[in-house]
Amino acid sequence: MKFGTIFSITLLVQLVVSVELDINDKDSICEAAKSVVQGELNYYEGTKYGGTVGMFSNPYYWWHAGEAFGGLVDYYTFCESDNKTLEKLIYNGMYHQAGDDYNYIPSNQSMTEGNDDQGVWGMAVMQAAERNFTDPKDHSWLEMTQAIYNTMNSRWDTKHCNGGLRWQIFTWNSGYDYKNSIANGCLFHIAARLARFTDNKTYAKVAEKVWDWMEDVGFATYVDDELVVYDGAKIGGNCTDLTKSKWSYTYGIFLSGCAYMYNYTNDNTWLDRVDEILRSSDFFFKDGYMFEHTCGGGSDCNNDERTFRSLFSRCLGLTSILAPSTKDTISTWIDTSAQGAASSCSGGTDGITCGEDWSKGSWDGVYGLGEQMSALEVMMALIVKTPLTADTGGSSKSNVNAGTNTGSEENKNEIKVTSQDKAGAGVLTAVVLLIITGGSIWMLF
């Protein structure tokens, strides 16, 4: 019997009025999280006939899948480590999306994947390494994280804005002329985690390089004595015309990346940065509940923005354990938000559909994969464990050269478009125009 079928049967026989949660009881937290995971896996395509392993249903993108699997790894590790069916689902999904070069640039995403997408998968795969999740025999989770890191770092672009990663990998994608904090934050975060896990200072130096560039370019800067992290800027004008939007997941990635660096180096410079980002992260709370401030929450946020609190929650949990002085502040936020999230997970026909507004005390009618993922992550932050390293029991095998010998175009700053590519694009455009024209004629009748 397939995993999705098991969950479907469970939903039919179990009437859930609301998700009950005692934030001080691990069994209660795991039971609440189980209900949330059931709702999350309703969106999973990998167990459905004809569905793609490792992907979630439309309108959710590849990066959403990466973020979802990162949360599922923690849920499995903290709550369900004897559940072989769940273990297989996570393993198959994550490994299937690794791509032919095992660097998480799979062919099915080659037309749309950005640096931030690859980076989010990198964090999920590193999560598997740090939790000793079942390692593939031929390509370990750590090795694949190193391949992601190597391919991302090879795209560091000094020709524009004196460094930094572009938002997109491929020239044909909208946003290729934009450098943003989330793409560079992913590289910073992954480098910091690899430094701590492997005790390799080369990774730490790259993390320092990214942080210094973020400050130099003005993406991370002080406003009224508060450290803020802006979204990014186009390369035209040398990245001086800033887009000043602030997003929770960007703050979370840099916050926890600094916490990893502090935990690894014991350098108070990194702890100071943790404290500064943590103070400015108050922006993402309203009446004590986590809130995606920039888009206003609820229907004003798109499917991406409604997912950001998921990664933010995980990063807060990691920070609280890697930089223990932050625990009191973070616990206050997580405790209130987790209780609110549980109260929101009472909607839909299954009674376990989670909502967007965690302050409401009940389901607000908003639903989606992002709502399920965010609720799960904030609950897992209540019981987060210290990530392993190679010296503390981490068994995933290292390969510092992973991803460097593929000769792949994706390792370069500019992907050249061949005449065949152009011809193919022309055919695709013609087909699309034909479909649009045909659709227009149909509508006339």
* Amino acid identity at 64: H
What does the pLDDT look like over 420-440, one tens digit per residue? 333 333 433 333 333 333 333
On the question of a cis peptide bond just before residue 59, with omega within 30 degrees of 0, the verdict is yes
Tell me, what's the pLDDT at 160? 98
Contacts of residue 65, defined as CB under 8 A and 6 or more positions apart, other chains included, come to 54, 55, 56, 93, 97
Residue 78 contacts residue 70 (beta carbons within 8 Å): no
DSSP state of 409: G
Structural domain boundaries of the chain?
3-427
Query: What's the pLDDT band for 17 if we cut at 50, 70, 90?
Result: low
Neighbours of 202 (CB within 10 A): 11
Neighbours of 442 (CB within 10 A): 8
Does pLDDT of 44 surpass 70? Answer: yes
DSSP state of 221: E
CATH, range 3-427: 1.50.10.20
What does the pLDDT look like over 154-203, one tens digit per residue? 999 999 999 999 999 999 999 999 999 999 999 999 999 999 999 999 99
